[in-house]
Amino acid sequence: MLVKVNTVLLVVLLGAMAWLAVQQQKLEERIVQAEAKNTSPIITTIPATPAEGASPFDNPNTDPMANMPESTVQLTRVKFKSTKLDLGKVMQGQKIRGAFEVTNIGDKPLTILGAEGSCGCTVPSYSKEPIAPGKSTKIDIEFDSSGKMGEQSKTVNVRMNTDVINYELIVNATVIPTDN
């Protein structure tokens, strides 16, 4: 009985190996044919420039300015009043607000492309409107201390059309437990 099982397994194994050898041969033939045509059967390329009429913001997982012609990317410069925000002592469960002030010190309009907190407890909000050269705006922050205790340090990453694409802002607070 054991000999029959071993024989069947050997036949199945040899059959699988033969099938794999045939598949490898077919793949090698496709590669040779593709190389003769100067294309790849496996790798496809994505055009470096967006299709006509496509917005550079169509793919949210890429830099929206990456494929824009250099002449249309209008970079500016900014200055933060401070990149650190100390919210002080906060009672546990309390929501507290603060803001970062940013000034457009360049000669092109400033656009905030996005802002994200390092966790759900730190939520930024900002104007979607362009900020003219010489003008300032605020990036508002709401910190929710629910479930937190002690010293807290959170970050907010802000993306703008500036010479530095990503700015990291720091939010600090000390969460004090509430007396029940």
pLDDT tens track for 45-64 = 344 444 555 555 555 555 55
User: Which positions ≥6 away from 40 have C-beta within 8 Å?
Assistant: 34
Query: What pTM was estimated for this model as a whole?
Result: 0.59
Tokens 């077919």 identify what position?
26
Residue 68 predicted with pLDDT over 60: no
What's the N-to-C CA distance of the chain in angstroms?
74
The whole-number average pLDDT for the span 18-42 is: 64
Q: Where is average pLDDT lowest: 25-29, 34-38, 41-45, 99-103? A: 41-45
pLDDT of residue 49: 47
pLDDT tier at 34 (50, 70, 90 boundaries)?
A: low
Q: Which domains are seen in the chain, by residue range?
A: 76-176 (2.60.40.10)
pLDDT tier at 65 (50, 70, 90 boundaries)?
A: low
Q: What is the percent of the chain where pLDDT is above 70?
A: 72
CA dist 1 to 7, 8, 11, 12, 85, Å?
10, 11, 16, 17, 77
Tokens 């907190």 identify what position?
117
pLDDT tens track for 69-121 = 544 568 999 999 999 999 999 999 999 999 999 999 999 999 999 999 999 99
113 or 15: which leads in pLDDT: 113
Side-chain-side CA neighbours of residue 130 (13 Å): 12
